[in-house]
Chain A
Amino acid sequence: MNSGLSTAVALKRRPLTWHRLQRLVAPYVFVSPGVVFYLMVTIIPMVWGFWISFHKWSIIWPAHPWVGLGNYTALLSEDLFWISLRNTAVYTAGVVPVEVAFALMVALLLNTKMRARGFFRLLYYLPVVTPLSISAVIWQWIYHPHVGLLNWVMRVLHLPTHDWLQEIGTAMLAVIIVAIWSGVGYRMVIFLAALQGIPQTYYEAAMIDGAGGFALFRHITLPLLKPATLFVLVTSIISSFQVFSIVNVLTQGGPLDSTHVVVYYIYKRAFGDLQFGLAAAMSFVLFAIILVVTAIQWKLIGREVSYE
């Protein structure tokens, strides 16, 4: 701390040479493209969106009258917004725990010295890089009530068949399954990288002390995976709250709004009904919810663990 201060004071006292100017300016020049880009695509639109949320705003109408909190209070009577919020919560509760647990399990398996490990890693990662439009076609066939694979399996097992994407009781489940299938691979890679970062010496020392497989997992693997788990959990919950594409291609929110999620509703209100002010207000309510949920997660499992 002291040495840093003295260097700063020394730098201040020295005359401004070209070399010194370069050292002072260069870091800012290097970061500026990233900062400008981030400002342009994130910060400025965010501030602008917040501004829009206080106006009656139809994108092509030149006048944008100020309505104060009007859009936020209007949300209270938007039944479909609350239905969408509830559906989004159901979707998140269905996707995140299963996805994270499954990704961890697969990562643990693929971290062992098994045969064809590379092939299995590729297999689990493949859904991540498969375009959603192609995935949607595959899953629409799997879910097809007459010729679909899923109903064929149900018939073989003498279980009742369903019109998975068209029944109120099954549509959300069908969407959740596709989301888990397409999201596991990415989370698996994060866990795999974290697992490979755990020093082998911890396991060796614990084994000398007589620790078994489950004890190793519980007392070494799991605690040391906490930073990765936190990252995976936070990003999974955020992306679940922001789900759009899967719903858009598979169900368009139906049947009877049973898969209507918040971002899909925001999109429809903005680009379908030209209610950009209201849509912006919804976005900020969603932002506040995500912020609170993330803060809670951070508080609960945010402390890092190190055995150094």
Chain B
Amino acid sequence: MKTYTYTEKKDTRSGFGAGLAELGRTNPNVVALCADLIGSLKMNEFIDENPERFFQIGIAEANMMGIAAGLTIGGKIPFTGTFANFSTGRVYDQIRQSIAYSNKNVKICASHAGLTLGEDGATHQILEDIGLMKMLPGMVVINPCDYNQTKAATIAIADYDGPVYLRFGRPSVPIFTPADQKFEIGKAVQLTEGTDVTIVATGHLVWEALEASKTLQEAGISAEVINIHTIKPLDDKAILDSVAKTGCIVTAEEHNHLGGLGESVARVLALHHPTPQEFIATNDTFGESGTPAQLMDKYGLNRGAIVNAAKKVLKRK
């Protein structure tokens, strides 16, 4: 089994900041907007280098989404930055009408998604954003797994013409994907080959899935780990090819089991290849204050939970 290691941990939001800074240097049409969270979104480098292409909106996310839509009329490629909660739930109708239905080339970039936001608690820990965004016709939904992939995704979405939701997070997590990777929207990345169980994970849970696969291997279980960085459009083929071999699947995400990656995978399987599936996700609940590690443990979103789910789903084959 291919194994993955890391020498450095970094937050995925810094990958966004680095990608945005690079776009500032290479694409004159890229503009950035922020609703009073420049530091949290790591947008300083872009702003320092391109002050005329940055719009500080203030604490007014609805206005930010509308302004972003307007900036596309004139050929700009706006990247909006705020927390995931304020990027989606707070401004759903603005995104729905002015961006998605109007098919505007806006990149909605959302940090601090999920439980790993930590101590601020449930008001800020959105676990519904993937569902909200994937339901919008035409919206692309991306949740990269580490710093390098987030940077690559940020750069890649500038070349895609249409609305995109890019979701990333606050904590430092292992960097295990290549710095020079080519990011292909909608193309899953197979990380390990396996024959007993498929584990498809997104975002912070991808590393946990890799760690789980090591534990499973020690128990004689061969797991195929697939990184689904793009939840919509979903790489149906990668999932179907894998379950054709393994016959069972675990999905893992830092999101409610209602509306998330797991449901999208279940739909593909139900249509084409009904397969036993277990869901690593929050169980229709809000989060709470705590350290990221405590929260991921309490809500069952870590390697241990994935191992248990894999063993369980194997018995359902």
Indicate whether A and B interact.
Answer: no
